[in-house]
Amino acid sequence: MVGSFHRARQALFVCMAAVGTACGDLDSTGEAMAARGPTASERAFSVSVAAGTETISQGATATYTIATDAAERDSQPLSLSVTGLPAGVTAVIAPSTLNSGETALLELSVSPTAAPAAATFTVTAVARKGSTRKATGQVAIVTRAP
């Protein structure tokens, strides 16, 4: 009877270990992640661009809201940048450094001589430890009405 109990307990332990491995409770080195917690580079966050598309006349400006979200309320410092804007469009992000979970404003200013164009731009958020997330927005530059 005692032998059966030990075999059953051992079988239960093996099954529990198999479930833990299948469910991702162990990292690639076999260490239990719950014991050490996620590293700073494993912390998740997201970034998005609200008002994804704006039409701006030559010589005018438009403002987009950049929202960041922290996973499980694990806030971390982020640096924001923008790329992919057409010629004649300048960008100001305020603030350009913030904590995940906060928002920033992106102001695009179009030169009076900018050529009409449509473009997709990319906002990049980089965490202090190197994690990167990207979001896109669109801008359409139109000729200023006389």
The correct answer on CATH 1.20.1440.230 for the domain covering 40-142 is: no
Up-side HSE of residue 133: CA atoms within 13 Å toward CB?
23
CA angle 111, 65, 145 (to 5 degrees): 35
The full set of domain ranges for the chain reads 2-36, 40-142
Identify the three-state secondary structure at position 117: strand
Q: Among 100, 107, 108, 106, which Cα is nearest to 126's?
A: 100
Whole-angstrom distance, CA of residue 27 vs CA of residue 43: 15
pLDDT of residue 39: 53
**Residue 33 and residue 121 in contact, taking contact as beta carbons nearer than 8 Å:** no
Q: What's the pLDDT tens digit per position in 27-68?
A: 344 444 444 444 544 558 999 999 778 999 999 999 999 999
Q: Could you say which residues of the chain have pLDDT below 50?
A: 5-38, 40-41
